[in-house]
Structure 1
Amino acid sequence: MAHVQITLHDLRRILLEAAGADEGVDLGGDIRATEFSDLGYDSLALMEAGSRLQREFGVQLSDESLAEATTPGALIDLVNDRLTADASA
């Protein structure tokens, strides 16, 4: 079975599906190190994105871990770490 990892492209799509995008925010660039708050996403939007990540990728994310992932890069790393742990279990 192939080892699944999420990409920045996957996360952008999920963020847009979950909460759209603020006018004037460019999600097309390298946003890995940009704080979610600077991108216009609040905790509710991230909870919805986390729920979508769980459904689509089958990964369990606690509210605390979502709150600690303050950038897209951190959230991608979190999800991919969980996916790797689940695959090796």
Structure 2
Amino acid sequence: MSKQEFTIEDLKRILLEGAGADEGVDLNGDILDTDLEELGYESLALLETGGRIEREYGITLDDDVITDNRTPRALIAAVNASIQALVDA
């Protein structure tokens, strides 16, 4: 059974597990509207993040979900929309 909601805490945990964090980046700060690349997460790290989200939540994300949703807030919303679509199916 998949989880029902994806939160900022989930995203931070998955980012840290998959790619760690750059020195000087405080993921505990107000990062919701900061570009993920500015936080030190480039394409390879984000692909890994997407894969981890898919496995943990039992969803499939289109490749453009990761590339089009450049902030934590946008990515969280997109993941939650995918989770909700699965629940509604």
Identity of aligned residues (%): 52
Task: Tell me how large the CA RMSD over aligned residues is.
Answer: 1.6
Q: Which moved more, 1:47-56 or 1:29-38?
A: 29-38
1:68 & 1:43 partners in 2: Cα distance? 11
Provide structure 1 residue ranges, at least 5 long, that are not aligned to the other structure: none
Q: 1:2 to 1:56 in 2, by over 3 A?
A: closer
1:53 & 1:32 partners in 2: Cα distance? 17
- Give the aligned residue type for 1:78: A
Partner of 1:37: 37
Partner of 1:4: 4
Task: Extract structure 1 runs of 4+ deviating beyond 4 A.
Answer: none
Q: Is the 8 A contact 2:3 2:57 kept in 1?
A: no
Q: Structure 1, residues 21-43: CA drift from partner, whole Å, max 9, x if none?
A: 00000000221100001100001
Provide structure 2 residue ranges, at least 5 long, that are not aligned to the other structure: none
Q: 1:3 to 1:44 in 2, by over 3 A?
A: closer
Partner of 1:77: 77
Number of aligned positions between the proteins: 89
- The structure that is helix-richer by fraction is 1
The answer to whether the aligner puts 1:60 opposite 2:63 as a matched pair is: no
